[in-house]
C-alpha cells in the first residue's frame, strides 16, 4: 500500500481508504462486515471513514466498527486513522441535523460511545449548513480538537467560497483544516476547476468518495440493470433513470480501454481518481472481501499514458 502525506501535515493516509457508508449497518451481515474491515487493515488500509448517520439504521455502522475494533483490532488502534462526521440528519427534532454547536458536540459524543473510542483521528463537518453561522460550526470543531475528542478537523462538500472562509477561520484559531472531502469520479469532475487548487494553496489534503459512481463505473450495468444492483432498488442514491443509453455507451468505451491496461473498469476508475497531484486518498465502498481484493488491484497500475488520458477525456467530454 502506498501512503501519501495529507496536504502539508505530517499525517499520511493510504491511497485507498475504506468507507462504511453501505454494507456495515445493523441490517447487514455482521460476519461479512467484520471480514472486510479486518482484511482491509491486513492489506494496508489504515484509514476507515465513518459518519454518525451511516447504517442503516443511522449510527449502526459506527456500532459495527466499534465491535470489530474491540474484538479483533484493539491492539492496533494507534496504527489506524478513524474518521467520523456530523451534519446530515441523524435524529428527529430541531437538534439532529445541521451545523449548530449543539448538534456537532452532541453528535461526536454519541459517535464516541457507539465506536467505544476515546477520540477520532479526524472529525468532519459533513456539510455546510446555511442556517447556522459558519463561525459557530467552525468554533465547535475547534473546541472538539482542544477537548481531545479529535486530533484533526475535516470539511465535506462545502461550496468553494464557503470553504475559503472556513479555512480562514480554522487557520486563525490555529486548528487548520487537515482534509477536504468531496465526490469525484470520471463522470463528476467539478472539483478539478477550483477545489483541488484551493486545497493545494491552503496545504489541505483531499479525499474523494464515490469513485465508481455508485457502481456505474464497473461492468455491472454493461448489459442492463441487474435485479440485485443498487439501481434496481427503490431506496438508495442511484436511480435506474441515471443508467441511460448514453452513459452505457461511455461505460462500454471506457471498459475497452481498461481491458488494454489489463484492468477491470473499476480498477481503472480508481486509478484515474488518484491521478491528481493533490489527491491524498480515495474512499472505496465494498460489499464483500472479494470485491475489496479486486479494488486493491487498482494499485498495480496507477500510471496513464498521454494517449490513454486523451482517449478517456474524449469519451468523458463527448
CATH number at residue 56: 3.20.20.100
- Compute the distance between CA of residue 122 and CA of residue 73 in angstroms, rounded to an integer: 19
Band of residue 229 on the pLDDT scale cut at 50, 70, 90: low
Q: For residues 243 and 217, give the distance between their C-alpha atoms in angstroms, rounded to a whole number.
A: 11
Q: How many residues does the chain have?
A: 318
pLDDT of residue 315: 96
Q: CB atoms < 10 A from the CB of 242, how many?
A: 14
Mean pLDDT of 97-126: 98
pLDDT at 74 exceeding the cut of 90: yes
Calculate what percentage of the chain has a pLDDT beyond 70. Answer: 94
pLDDT (tens digit, 9 = 90+) per residue, 255-264?
999 999 999 9
Select the more confidently predicted residue: 86 or 233: 86
**Spatial separation of the C-alpha atoms in residues 282 and 288, rounded to whole Å:** 18
Query: Residue 295: inside a domain, yes or no?
Result: yes
Q: Poorest-confidence range of 91-100, 224-233, 238-247, 256-265? A: 224-233
- Judge whether residue 234 has pLDDT over 60: no
d(CA 122, CA 114): 16
> What's residue 36's pLDDT?
98
Q: Return the closest-CA partner of residue 219 out of 283, 269, 287.
A: 269
Average pLDDT over the chain, rounded to an integer: 94
Confidence of residue 108 (pLDDT cuts 50, 70, 90): very high
How much is the average pLDDT of 31-60? 98
Question: Where does the pLDDT of residue 137 fall: very low under 50, low under 70, confident under 90, or very high at 90 and above?
Answer: very high
Predicted confidence band of residue 155 (pLDDT cuts 50, 70, 90): very high
Residue 318 resides in a domain:
no
242, part of any domain:
no
Query: Is 27 contained in some domain?
Result: yes
Q: Are 24 and 50 in contact (CB under 8 A)?
A: no
With cut-offs at 50, 70 and 90, classify the pLDDT of residue 134.
very high
pLDDT of residue 230: 57
- Asked whether residue 262 is assigned to any structural domain, the reply reads no
- On whether residue 16 sits in a domain, the answer given is yes
Task: Please give the pLDDT value at position 220.
Answer: 81
- d(Cα 187, Cα 189) in Å, to the nearest integer? 6
130: domain range? 3-214+270-300
Q: Is 124 helix (H, G, I), strand (E, B) or coil?
A: strand
Please determine, for residue 238, whether its predicted confidence score (pLDDT) is greater than 70. no
Long-range contacts made by residues 56-62, C-beta under 8 angstroms, separation at least 24?
A: 56/25, 56/26, 56/27, 57/25, 57/26, 57/27, 58/90, 58/91, 59/90, 59/110, 59/111, 59/114, 60/24, 60/25, 60/26, 60/27, 61/20, 61/21, 61/24, 61/25, 62/111, 62/114, 62/115
Question: Is the pLDDT score of 99 beyond 90?
Answer: yes
Give per-residue pLDDT as tens, 1-41.
999 999 999 999 999 999 999 999 999 999 999 999 999 99
Separation between Cα atoms, residue 154 and residue 136, nearest integer Å:
15
DSSP state of 228: T
Output the pLDDT for position 236.
57
List beta partners, residue 179: 154, 205
Does the structure show a pLDDT above 60 at 235?
no
Q: How many domains does the chain have?
A: 1
Q: Has residue 249 been placed in a domain?
A: no
Is pLDDT larger for residue 240 or for residue 196? Answer: 196
Amino acid at each position: 500500500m502506498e501512503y501519501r502525506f495529507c496536504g502539508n501535515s505530517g499525517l499520511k493516509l493510504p491511497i485507498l481508504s475504506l468507507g462504511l457508508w453501505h454494507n456495515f449497518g445493523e441490517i447487514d451481515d455482521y460476519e461479512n462486515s467484520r471480514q472486510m474491515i479486518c482484511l482491509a487493515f491486513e492489506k494496508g488500509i489504515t484509514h476507515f471513514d465513518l459518519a454518525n448517520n451511516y447504517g442503516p439504521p443511522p449510527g449502526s455502522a459506527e456500532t459495527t466498527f466499534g465491535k470489530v475494533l474491540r474484538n479483533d483490532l484493539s491492539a492496533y488502534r494507534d496504527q489506524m486513522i478513524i474518521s467520523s462526521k456530523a451534519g446530515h440528519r441523524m435524529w428527529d427534532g430541531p437538534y439532529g441535523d445541521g451545523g449548530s454547536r449543539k448538534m456537532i458536540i452532541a453528535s461526536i459524543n454519541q459517535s464516541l460511545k457507539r465506536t467505544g473510542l476515546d477520540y477520532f483521528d479526524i472529525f468532519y463537518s459533513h456539510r455546510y449548513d446555511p442556517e447556522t453561522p459558519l463561525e459557530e460550526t467552525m468554533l465547535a470543531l475547534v473546541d472538539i480538537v482542544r477537548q481531545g475528542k479529535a486530533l484533526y478537523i475535516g470539511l465535506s462538500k462545502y461550496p468553494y467560497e464557503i470553504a475559503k472562509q472556513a479555512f480562514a477561520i480554522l487557520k486563525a484559531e490555529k486548528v487548520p483544516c487537515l482534509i477536504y472531502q468531496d465526490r469525484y469520479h470520471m463522470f463528476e469532475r467539478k472539483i478539478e476547476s477550483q477545489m483541488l487548487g484551493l486545497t493545494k494553496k491552503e496545504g489541505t489534503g483531499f479525499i474523494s468518495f464515490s469513485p465508481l459512481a455508485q457502481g456505474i463505473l464497473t461492468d455491472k450495468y454493461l448489459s442492463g440493470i441487474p435485479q440485485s444492483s443498487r439501481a434496481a432498488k427503490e431506496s438508495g442514491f442511484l436511480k435506474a433513470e441515471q443508467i441511460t443509453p448514453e452513459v452505457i455507451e461511455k461505460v462500454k468505451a471506457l471498459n475497452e480501454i481498461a481491458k488494454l491496461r489489463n484492468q477491470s473498469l473499476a480498477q481503472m476508475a480508481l486509478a484515474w481518481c488518484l491521478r491528481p497531484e493533490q489527491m491524498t486518498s480515495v474512499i472505496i465502498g465494498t460489499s464483500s472481501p472479494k470485491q475489496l481484493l479486486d479494488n486493491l488491484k487498482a494499485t498495480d497500475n496507477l500510471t496513464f499514458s498521454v494517449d490513454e488520458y486523451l482517449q478517456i477525456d474524449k469519451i468523458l467530454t463527448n
